[in-house]
Amino acid sequence: MMKRLLTLLLCLSLLLCLATQGEGGLAYLSDFSGGLDGWYARSAGGASVETDGSALLITGRSASWNSPGRDFALEPGVTYDISCQVMQAEADSADLMISVAHSKGGVESYENLATVTAKKGRWMGMKCAYTPGQYDKFVLYVETKGAPELSFSIRNFTVTARGLNAQSDLPSLSALYSDFFDFGCAVTQMEALNTARMDFYASQYNIMTPGNELKPDFVLNVSESRRLAKQDESAVAVRFDSAKPLLNYCQKNGIKVHGHTLVWHQQTPEAFFHEGYDAQKPYVTREVMLARLDNYIRQIMEYMDKNYPGLIVSWDVVNEAVDDNAAKLRASNWTKVVGEDFVNRAFEIARKYAPEGTLLFYNDYSTPYQPKLTGISKLLDSLIAEGNIDGYGFQAHYQLSSPTLAQLSAALETIASKGLLLRISELDIAVSALNDSVYDLQANRYASLMREFLAYSDQIVAVHTWGVTDDLSWLTNKNPLLFDKNLAPKPAFWALCELMQEEP
C-alpha cells in the first residue's frame, strides 16, 4: 500500500512540473509515467501515440512532420533550454529533430531546433536553446528528417526557462558618464520582448538602437509595395512590427532611441531597385528610385513622429557607403541606379522630413585605416557643404591591438576638426581566447579606448556598445562585450567604472 502511494505521489509531482513557475519561469519534465500528459499525434489522420509508463511511442506515421507534439505556454523573449531522448528500432539510423510550430493571427510557421542521428535500438539525447518570438501559440514536437513511416519513442522531455540573475547593485554606466555623453547599446527584437532583461539594460544604458529592426529589409513591405506599384512605380509601403517592442519599451521608460539605418547597400531587398518591385525586371530609373527613397524616408519619419514623438533623437541616414580599399564610394545598387550622389540625396530627403532637432549621422567602419579615412573625409566634406549632416558615427568593432591608439586618435581628430558631432556607434572588442588574462587585456583595451573618447567628449553625443551580453552579440564566439551570458559584469565593465574614479 505504502509503495503504491509513493508511486502515485511521484507521478503527481511530475505532472505538476508542467505548470511550475519558479525563479527561472516555466519548468517542465515528463517521463510519461503519468500518462500522455497532454501529448498528441500531429498528423492528418492515421498516426497515434501511446505510453508504456516510461516513454511515448508514435506509430502509423505517413509523413515526416507526423509527430508527438504538445502545446506550451512559452513567453516571447525568454530563453528556454529544451531536451529529450529519442529511440527508434526500425532503421540502421535515422535523423530526428525537436521542432516548434508557432502561430500568429492564425498563420502557422515552423523552426527546427535540434537534430540527432538515432542509431537503431539506442536511446539518443538532443538538446537546444530556444528564444521564442512574438507569437500567439507554440507547439513543441519531435519529427523525422525523411523516414516518413518510421515509428519512434521519446522520453524525458524537458523545457526549462533560464532565469535572469542580474546584479541589482551595479554602478550604472549611463550615470557614471552622464557628464560627458550618453551611454547606449544595441538591442534586438528578441531581447526587447523580455521585460526583465530590458529592465536590467535600462539600469545601465540611457539610449538604445535597434540592432536590425529599422533596417530596410525589416521596414520595407515588398509585397504591398509591389501591389501599389501597379498604379504608381514610386509608391512605397512600410511596416514597423519588428521594431515596436523596443520602441514601446523605450517610450514607456523614458529611454532615447537612435535609429539605424535608413539607407544601406546590405539588408535592403533587391526588389526595391526594380520595376514593379520584381527583382527579375529591369532596374527603375534614377528619377523613380529617388521618388521611392523620398516616399520611404517620409513615411518612416511621419510614422515615428505620430506614434513615438521625440523618441528617436538621431538617425544613421546612410550606412557604410565608402569602399574599404579605395577613397571612393563602394559600388552598389544605390550607385548603379541613383548615382554617386545617392548619399547626398538621402541626407537631403532626411533633412526635409526629420522632426526639428533630430540629428542626422553618416555611419561607417574601419575609420582609422587608409585609404578609407580619406574616402570618408571626402564624403563628409560634400555633405557638410550641402548643410544636411550633423555628425559621424564611428563603428568601433575593434581588436586588442588594432587599430592602434595613434590611428584612432588621428581619425578622431580628422573627423572632429570638421566640426561634426561624433557617435561611437558600435563598440565591441573581439578576443580569441576566453580566460582571465585575456579578459584583463580586453578590460585594459576598453579603458584605453574610452580615454580617447573622453578627450572628445565636447563633440561625442553617445557611446554605444553593439549589444549587451556576449552570447547575443553578432560576434558571439569572440565574447566582445561588457557582460557575459548570465548578465554578470566582466572585467571590461569594471574597467570603465574605475576610469571615472581616476584623477582628471
Residue 463: burial class (beta carbons within 10 Å; 0-12, 13-18, 19+): buried
Q: Which cell goes with 176? A: 557614471
> Is the Cα dihedral 321, 182, 473, 427 positive or negative?
positive
Q: Tell the residue number behind the cell numbers 506515421, with chain if given.
A: 61
Q: What is the pTM of this model?
A: 0.84
Q: What is the pLDDT of residue 477?
A: 87
For residue 11, pLDDT over 50 is answered with no
Determine the pLDDT at residue 503. 53
Encode pLDDT of 453-500 as tens digits.
999 999 999 999 999 999 899 998 899 999 998 899 999 999 999 999
Instruction: Write down the pLDDT at residue 26.
Output: 64
Active-site entry in 426, 452, 498, 502:
426
* 168-176: Cβ within 8 A, 24+ apart: 168/203, 170/203, 170/204, 170/489, 170/493, 171/497, 172/203, 172/204, 173/204, 173/205, 173/482, 173/493, 173/496, 173/497, 174/204, 174/205, 174/206, 174/207, 176/496, 176/497, 176/500
The three cell numbers locating residue 356: 526639428
- Give residue-wise pLDDT tens across range 78-100: 889 999 999 999 999 999 999 99
Beta strands 124-130 and 182-187: pairing type? unpaired
Q: Please, what is the average pLDDT of the chain?
A: 92
Catalytic-labelled residue, pool 191, 213, 320, 348? 320
| Residue 14 in this model has a pLDDT that exceeds 70 | no
Q: Are 185 and 427 in contact (CB under 8 A)?
A: no
Return the amino acid letter for 333.
Answer: N
* Rounded-to-integer distance, Cα 407 and Cα 370, Å: 10
pLDDT tens for each residue of 351-361: 999 999 999 99
Question: What tens digit of pLDDT does each residue of 326-350 get?
Answer: 999 999 999 999 999 999 999 999 9
Rounded (5°) CA angle 20-21-25: 125
Please name each of the domains of the chain with its CATH number.
14-161 (2.60.120.260), 173-499 (3.20.20.80)
Would residue 486 be called left, alpha or beta, if left means φ above 0 and alpha means ψ between -120 and 50 degrees? alpha
Give catalytic status of residue 320 as yes or no. yes
Band of pLDDT at residue 504, cut at 50, 70 and 90 = low
Whether 502 is catalytic is no
| DSSP symbols for 144-200 | ESS-TT--EEEEEEEEEEPPP---SSPPPHHHHTTTT-EEEEEE-HHHHT-HHHHHH
Percent of the chain with pLDDT over 90: 84
Q: Name the 3-class secondary structure at 231.
A: coil
pLDDT at 15 over 80: no
The mean per-residue pLDDT over the stretch 381-394 comes to 98
* pLDDT of res. 6: 35
d(CA 222, CA 83): 38
List the beta bridge partners of residue 430.
none
Supply the pLDDT for residue 27.
79
* Helices vs strands, H then E, count in the chain: 14, 21
Task: From 138, 184, 179, select the one nearest 161 (Cα to Cα).
Answer: 138
Confidence bin at 21 (pLDDT 50/70/90)? very low
